Chains A and B, each alone.
Chain A
Amino acid sequence: MTDLALRRAPADRERMLGLLQDYGVYAGVTVLILANIAFTPHFVSAENFRTQAVQVAPVLIVALGMALAIGSEGVDLSVGSVMALATSLVSLYLGYGPWIALIVAMLGGAAVGLASGSLIAHIGVQPIVATLALMVAVRGIALVMLPQLKDVRDPGMATLGSGDLLGIPYLVLIAAALALLVGFTVRRTTFGRQLLAIGDSRPAAQLAGLPVRRVLILVYICSGVLAAIAGVLATARLQASDPTSLGNLMELSAITAVVVGGTPLSGGRIRVGGTVAGAVLIQLLTATLIKHDLPPSWTQIAQAVVIVLAVYAARERGKR
Chain B
Amino acid sequence: MLSVSSLTKTFPGARALDGVDFAARPGEVHALIGENGAGKSTLIKVLTGVYQPDEGEIVFGGEPVRFATPLAAQHAGISTIYQEVNLVPLMSVARNLFLGREPRGRLGLIDFRRMHREADAALRSLGLRIDVRRPLRELGVGAQQMVALARAVSVDARVVVMDEPTSSLEPREVRTLFGVIRMLKERGIAVVYVSHRLDELYEVCDTVTVLRDGKLVHTGRIADLDRLRLVSLMLGREMSEVRSEGLTKFSGDHEAGGEPVLDARELTVRHVLHEVSVQLRPGEVVGLGGLLGSGRSETAKAIAGALPPDSGTVVVAGAAVRTGSTPAAIRAGISLLPEDRKAEGIVPGLSVRENIALAALPGLSRFGLVDDARVDRIVDTFIKRLRIKTSGPYQKVGELSGGNQQKVLLARWLAMRPKVLLLDEPTRGIDVGAKAEVQRLIDELADEGLGVLLISSDMEELIEGSDRVVVLKDGAVVAELTGDDVTEDRLLHAIAAEGGDHD
Contacts and interface: CB of A to CB of B under 8 A. Distances in A.
Given A3-B429, A5-B13, A190-B365, A207 B326 contact: yes
B213 to A, nearest CB: 12
B402 interface: yes
A1 B9 CA distance: 13
Contacts of A4: 12-14
Nearest to B11: A1
Given A1-B429, A6-B398, A209-B327, A201 B346 contact: yes
Interface residues of B, number: 44
A188 B361 contact: no
Interface stretch (B121-129, B161-169, B336-344): B336-344
Interface stretch (B43-51, B149-157, B348-356): B348-356
Which residue, of A6, A193, A203, A208, has the highest number of chain B Cβ atoms within 10 A? A208
Contacts of B327: 209, 211
Nearest to B354: A193
Nearest to B412: A208
Contacts of A200: 347-350
A204 B37 contact: no
Contact of B370 (A2, A189, A209, A269): A189
A190 B343 contact: no
A2 B11 contact: yes
Contacts of A196: 347, 349-350, 354
A198 B354 CA distance: 12
Nearest to A201: B347
Interface in B272-315: 304, 306
Contact of A204 (B344, B357, B399): B344
Given A3-B402, A269-B349, A191 B368 contact: yes
Contacts of A211: 327
A13 interface: no
A211 B328 CA distance: 11
B441 interface: no
Contacts of A209: 326-327, 329-331, 359
B369 interface: yes
B347 A5 contact: no
Interface in A6-42: 6-8
Interface string B22-43: 0000000000000001000000
B318 interface: no
Contacts of B19: none
Contacts of B354: 193, 196-197
B336 to A, nearest CB: 7
A201 B349 CA distance: 9
Given A188-B372, A210-B358, A7 B343 contact: no
Contacts of B188: none
A268 B370 contact: no
Contacts of A119: none
B401 interface: yes
B257 interface: no
B401 A207 contact: no
Contacts of B345: 204, 207
Contacts of A201: 343-344, 346-349
Contact of B399 (A1, A6, A189, A208): A6
Residue of B304, B326, B429, B431 with most partner-chain A CB within 10 A: B326
A91 B347 CA distance: 46
B347 A190 contact: no
A194 interface: yes
A190 B362 CA distance: 7
Contacts of A148: none
A193 B361 contact: yes
Interface in A82-121: none
Interface string A286-309: 000000000000000000000000
Nearest to A208: B359
A245 interface: no
A207 B13 contact: no
A197 B350 CA distance: 7
Contact of A190 (B13, B338, B361): B361
Q: What 9 pairs between A and B have smallest CB-CB spacing?
A: A4-B13, A209-B330, A5-B12, A1-B14, A268-B349, A200-B349, A3-B402, A190-B365, A209-B327
Interface of A: 1-8, 188-191, 193-194, 196-197, 200-201, 203-211, 268-269
